[in-house]
A and B are shown apart, each in its own frame.
Chain A
Amino acid sequence: MNILELNKIALWKPKMFDELTVREAGAGRPYFADGIMRKTIARTYRYAKNYEKGKRKFCLIVITYLNDAEVIEGKLDKIAKKIKASEIDDALANTTDSSFAYTNYYLEDK
């Protein structure tokens, strides 16, 4: 079972629809930051989109306070290009149907 970390890019098996989907959740969600558990103080938004790299199909996920689908999609697209095939393979090996694997990428990365 994953622990929520905001703005950290996660990798998972491909989701049902390839396009970017967004889901909103209310405040008060527990998340992990700076070594301690906190609770979100505002709504969070989950962005997820499928990508394909060579023969690998995968999904990038990020949960954040930011409410701007276009901007987030652009950032996910950039990260998808940077991410290596070996990183995808390692991450997918550690995912299950109900848990993803965090990458070392963050939304704020340039």
Chain B
Amino acid sequence: MNSISLDKVKFGEMSVVTEIDINNFRLYDIGIVRGSVITPLFKSMFGDTVAFRIKGSIIALRKDDCKKIKVKLLL
């Protein structure tokens, strides 16, 4: 199964993180590590920021950063 970037995942679809191309410690601390399940929930007014469910909490990320996270869809 091919990996796609996080910004291409549809709302409500669950996926598993396979690769992270961002060097921000906080992302790891919050649970965005390889193997975590991540689900997009809703986006902001202007559409550039998206809220995801990670490990039971809601975390908002920018679309530009989402392009650097690769995931595999959970079917």
Q: Do A and B interact?
A: no
